[in-house]
Chains A and B, each alone.
Chain A
Amino acid sequence: MSLEQFKNRNVGVQSYKTLDVGTPPKTGMEKFTQVVKRSVKGELFVGLGVVMKRMLEALFKNDMHTVKYPFEKMPISPRYRAIHEMLRLLESGNYRCIGCGLCEKICISNCISMETRYDENQRKEVSEYTINFGRCIFCGYCAEVCPELAIVHGQRYETASEQRAGFSLFEDMLTPIDQLNLQQEFDGFGAVSPNADDNIKQTPLAY
Chain B
Amino acid sequence: METTLIENLPEVGAVGVIIKAVLILAVISAIAGFGTFIERKVLAFMQRRLGPMHVGPYGLLQIAADGIKLFTKEDIIPQNANKFIFMVAPVITAATAFIALSSVPVFPDFTIPSWIPLLGDTFVPSIASDLNIGILFVLGMMAAGLYGPLLAGMSQANKWGIIGAARTAVQFLSYEVVTGLSILAPIMLVGSLSFVEFNNYQAGGISNWLIWQQPLAFVLFLIAGFAETNRTPFDLLEHEAEVVSGYATEYSGMRWGMFFIGEYANMITVSVIASVVFLGGYDVVGVYGWLFIIAKIAFFFFLMLWVRAAWPHVRPDQLMWLCWKVLMPLAVVNVLITAIVMMV
B-binding residues in A (CB < 8 A): 32, 35, 44, 47-48, 50-52, 54-55, 57-59, 63-66, 68
* Contact assessment for B48 and A48 in the assembled complex, using a CB-CB cutoff below 8 Å: no
In this complex, what residue of B is CB-closest to A57?
Answer: B48
What is the predominant secondary structure among interface residues of chain B facing chain A?
A: helix
Number of chain B residues whose Cβ lies closer than 8 Å to a Cβ of chain A: 15
Jot down 7 A-B pairs with beta carbons below 8 A, ordered by A.
Answer: A35-B326, A48-B310, A51-B310, A54-B48, A58-B45, A64-B49, A68-B50
Whether A55 contacts B42 in the complex (CB less than 8 A), given A64-B50, A65-B48, A65-B49, comes out as yes
In this complex, what residue of A is CB-closest to B322?
Answer: A35
Whether A51 contacts B309 in the complex (CB less than 8 A), given A32-B326, A58-B45, A59-B45, comes out as yes
* Contact assessment for B307 and A48 in the assembled complex, using a CB-CB cutoff below 8 Å: yes
In this complex, what residue of B is CB-closest to A66?
Answer: B50
> Chain A residues near B310 (CB, 8 Å)?
44, 47-48, 50-51
Inter-chain contact total with CB atoms closer than 8 Å = 43
Whether A58 contacts B48 in the complex (CB less than 8 A), given A32-B326, A35-B326, A48-B306, comes out as yes
Residue interface mask B34-53, A partner, CB < 8 A = 1: 00000000100111111001
Given contacts A32-B325, A47-B310, A54-B47, 18 further A-B contacts (CB under 8 A): A35-B326, A44-B310, A44-B311, A48-B310, A48-B311, A51-B309, A51-B310, A52-B46, A54-B45, A55-B42, A55-B46, A58-B45, A58-B46, A65-B48, A66-B48, A66-B49, A66-B50, A68-B53
Least CB distance, B48 to chain A, in whole angstroms: 5
* Contact assessment for B326 and A47 in the assembled complex, using a CB-CB cutoff below 8 Å: no
Least CB distance, B298 to chain A, in whole angstroms: 15
Least CB distance, B317 to chain A, in whole angstroms: 12
Across the A-B interface, the 4 shortest Cβ-Cβ residue pairs = A47-B310, A51-B46, A55-B45, A66-B50
User: With A and B bound together, what is the CA distance between A44 and B326 in angstroms?
Assistant: 17
User: With A and B bound together, what is the CA distance between A80 and B47 in angstroms?
Assistant: 28
